[in-house]
Amino acid sequence: DQQVKQNSPSLSVQEGRISILNCDYTNSMFDYFLWYKKYPAEGPTFLISISSIKDKNEDGRFTVFLNKSAKHLSLHIVPSQPGDSAVYFCAGHSGGGADGLTFGKGTHLIIQP
């Protein structure tokens, strides 16, 4: 049972435009959702998170939206830059910090010049 789903394996966006990465989940016990960015041969780097009681969190060019009724979240990157080309993972957390994360399979974002 895949609790966190990222249905787009890849996404291509032109530099300067908005990138929107989507994520769906099934576990209602998640209390936080996190987005990670991963370059080849490196570990995932934390980008932004959102509490399950919020519907939006913004940090610079990155905004995460949560639609709890639809069990859906999205990451918006605007404007997209060449350095944003990477694999993006959505993850859910439950347990008040005692448990690890449940990840989706990732979306490979490619920023075209």
Partner 1 sequence: SAVISQKPSRDICQRGTSLTIQCQVDSQVTMMFWYRQQPGQSLTLIATANQGSEATYESGFVIDKFPISRPNLTFSTLTVSNMSPEDSSIYLCSVGSWQTRNYGYTFGSGTRLTVV
Question: Least separation, in Å, of the C-beta of 105 and partner 1?
Answer: 4
Distance CA 46, CA 88 (A): 10
Per the listing, tokens 């959505």 go with 90
Q: Which of residues 40-79 bind partner 1 (CB under 8 A)?
A: 41-46, 48-49, 51, 59
- When asked if residue 105 is in the footprint of partner 1 (CB under 8 A), the reply is yes
Of 90 and 111, which has the nearer Cβ to partner 1? 90
Choosing from 25, 30, 32, 88, the residue that interacts with partner 1 (CB under 8 A) is: 32
Of 89 and 109, which has the nearer Cβ to partner 1? 89
